[in-house]
């Protein structure tokens, strides 16, 4: 993975504390929402879960989203929306990059030890 994909204005944001091997994530904290800039260095499977609504735009790579048992495939340039409370899981391929807005102020915390 290369931080060169995202510009310095993004790289200088704090890292989100998300325990996924190979994930680099930069967190922008709003008053009521969070925006994450994410880059996955490994293939990852995210188990089924739910939370407040989520919107994302795929910048590179591919993600399979399973939302309420329906399969969707998103690639560069695609956007997706997961309504609040909908059960979802994902298969994310190495090299996937996106920007994701969570309609939740406290979805993720800032990682205490930053790795920039």
pLDDT beyond 70 at 115: no
Task: Take residue 31 and report the two structure tokens written for it.
Answer: 């008053």
pLDDT beyond 60 at 1: no
Specify if 40 maps to a domain: yes
Task: Take residue 110 and report the two structure tokens written for it.
Answer: 């800032």
pLDDT beyond 90 at 22: yes
pLDDT digits (tens, 9 = 90+) for 51-100: 999 999 999 999 999 999 999 999 999 999 999 999 999 999 999 999 99
Q: What is the pLDDT of residue 73?
A: 98
Q: What is the pLDDT of residue 4?
A: 82
Closest CA to 40 of 111, 79, 92: 92
CATH number, domain with residue 62: 2.60.120.10
Specify if 36 maps to a domain: yes
Q: What is the pLDDT of residue 21?
A: 93
Specify if 59 maps to a domain: yes
* Total structural domains within the chain: 1
Task: Take residue 48 and report the two structure tokens written for it.
Answer: 């089924």
Q: What is the pLDDT of residue 114?
A: 63
pLDDT digits (tens, 9 = 90+) for 26-53: 999 999 999 999 999 999 999 999 999 9
Specify if 69 maps to a domain: yes
Task: Give me the domain span that covers residue 47.
Answer: 8-102
Q: What is the pLDDT of residue 68?
A: 97
Specify if 73 maps to a domain: yes
């Amino acid at each position: 993975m290369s931080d060169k994909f995202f510009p310095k204005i993004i790289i200088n944001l704090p890292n989100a504390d998300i325990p996924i091997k190979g994930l680099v994530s930069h967190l922008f904290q709003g008053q009521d929402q969070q925006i994450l800039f994410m880059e996955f260095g490994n293939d990852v499977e995210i188990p089924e879960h739910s939370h407040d609504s989520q919107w994302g735009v795929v910048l590179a790579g591919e993600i399979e989203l399973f939302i309420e048992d329906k399969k969707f495939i998103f690639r560069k340039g695609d956007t997706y929306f997961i309504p609040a409370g909908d059960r979802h899981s994902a298969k994310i391929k190495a090299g996937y990059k996106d920007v994701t807005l969570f309609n939740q102020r406290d979805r993720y915390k800032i990682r205490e030890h930053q790795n920039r």
